[in-house]
């Protein structure tokens, strides 16, 4: 069997960003500034680097990025006030809160406060609920990235059997719901699922978001399946160096799958592109 076609997340993201640059220009021509306000409470070096990269990604398509840095001792009430102010500010078209929030802040109570129309990470339960009702909404970025990548293959989702490995609120569940909306037959698995290998073997579309290196081996992938790897795992390679790998045993599975997304260079860059797209969508919708 021929090797799988690689689903190149970087190339897809570049195409998305080109289209966004044009949409941002059109909004600017109407006097609308597209702006993403991000709240970072405390945060280690990694979180600050992530925010810096986010600022760069925004600026590349013409989106203004405002980072609101708060002390790691910020109280629930202080963070709440910041969100409420951003909700009220007409110059702010999009809001996101960097996770995790330091203990004992209740993160879901904060996410619930983000104005539905500005919630570009799709973390307000109203946005997740809207997906179930099939209404236009701001969809969690990683789930959206997964769907775009499957669609990019041209493989018909309707009527296919999709197996989603991992069922977290932020990735696994929204992916499963989006695939249901696209009329696939969806199986959602978690760490307690019995006979998971047999279920995976039956998948035309296999999405792994478990966070377990080499969970998806060649023997559990059906010939020709679309395999999307959401996992991001840091491991020490045979050479003693740290590397980032997904959940899929890429070098073996590429000989079985029809299409496969790599890590790095797969879902990650597309997730960033989807955050930017949601940000532009929010500005278009609220103006
Ligand atoms: P999580 O820990 O919240 O959820 C993991 C899910 O996988 C759970 O439902 C758990 O039951 C299930 N699971 C664990 N081991 C399993 C197994 N052996 N078989 C079947 N199911 C199993 O994780 P998360 O936040 O959903 O993230 C999952 C992975 O995706 C992580 O590696 C994370 O780093 C990555 N991730 C990537 C992006 C991206 O942009 N590429 C975004 C978010 C998360």
- Containing 60, the helix (H) or strand (E) segment is helix 45-60
Count of domains forming the chain:
2
> Same domain, yes or no, for 39 and 103?
yes
> Which protein residue's CA is at the shortest distance from atom 34 of ligand 1?
232
Minimum CA distance residue for ligand 1 atom 6:
166
Number of CB atoms found within 10 A of residue 104's CB: 7
pLDDT digits (tens, 9 = 90+) for 110-163: 999 999 999 999 999 999 899 889 887 899 999 999 999 999 999 999 999 999
**pTM assigned to the model:** 0.96
Mutating to test ligand 1, I would choose from 100, 208, 210, 220 the residue with most ligand atoms within 8 A of its C-beta, which is 210
CATH of the domain at 221: 3.40.50.720
pLDDT for residue 175: 97
pLDDT tier for residue 68 given thresholds of 50, 70 and 90: very high
218 and 143 part of one domain: yes
Give the domain CATH number at 38.
Answer: 3.40.50.10860
Q: Say how many Å lie between the CA of residue 62 and the centre of ligand 1.
A: 32
Q: Are residues 164 and 110 in the same domain?
A: no
Q: Say if residue 287's pLDDT is above 90.
A: no
Whether 1 shows a pLDDT value over 80: the answer reads: no
Q: Please tell me if the CB atom of residue 170 comes closer than 6 angstroms to any atom of ligand 1.
A: yes
Q: Which of 230, 266, 273 to mutate to test the pocket of ligand 1 (most atoms within 8 A of CB)?
A: 230
| Ligand 1 pocket residue status of 196, Cβ below 6 Å | yes
Write the pLDDT tens digit of every residue in 241-272.
Answer: 999 999 999 999 999 999 999 999 999 999 99
Residues 111 and 143 reside in one and the same domain: no
> Which residues are CB-neighbours of 207 under 8 A, at least 6 positions away?
146, 150, 162, 163, 164, 165, 175, 179, 228, 230
Pocket of ligand 1 contains residue 260 by CB under 6 Å: no
């Amino acid at each position: 069997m021929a090797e799988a076609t690689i689903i190149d997340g970087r190339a897809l993201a570049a195409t998305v960003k080109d289209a966004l640059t044009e949409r941002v220009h059109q909004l600017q021509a109407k006097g609308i500034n597209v702006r993403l306000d991000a709240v970072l409470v405390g945060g280690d070096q990694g979180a600050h680097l992530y925010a810096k990269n986010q600022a760069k990604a925004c600026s590349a398509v013409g989106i203004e990025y405002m980072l609101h840095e708060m002390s790691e001792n910020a109280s629930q009430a202080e963070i709440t006030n910041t969100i409420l102010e951003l909700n009220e500010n007409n110059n702010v078209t999009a809001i996101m809160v960097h996770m995790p929030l330091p203990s004992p802040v209740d993160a879901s109570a904060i996410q619930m406060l983000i104005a539905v129309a500005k919630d570009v990470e799709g973390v307000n339960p109203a946005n997740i609920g809207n997906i179930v009702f099939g209404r236009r909404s701001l969809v969690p970025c990683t789930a959206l990235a997964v769907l775009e990548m499957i669609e990019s293959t041209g493989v018909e989702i309707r009527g296919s059997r999709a197996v989603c490995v991992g069922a977290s609120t932020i990735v696994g569940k929204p992916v499963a719901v989006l695939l249901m909306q696209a009329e696939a037959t969806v199986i959602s698995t978690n760490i307690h699922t019995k006979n998971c290998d047999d279920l995976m073997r039956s998948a035309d579309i296999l999405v792994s978001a478990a966070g377990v290196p080499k969970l998806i081996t060649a023997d559990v992938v059906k010939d020709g399946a679309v395999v999307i790897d959401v996992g991001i795992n840091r491991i020490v390679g045979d050479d003693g160096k740290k590397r980032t790998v997904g959940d899929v045993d890429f070098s073996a599975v590429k000989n079985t799958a029809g299409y496969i997304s790599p890590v790095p260079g797969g879902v990650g860059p597309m997730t960033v592109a989807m955050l930017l797209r949601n940000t532009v969508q929010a500005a278009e919708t609220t103006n």
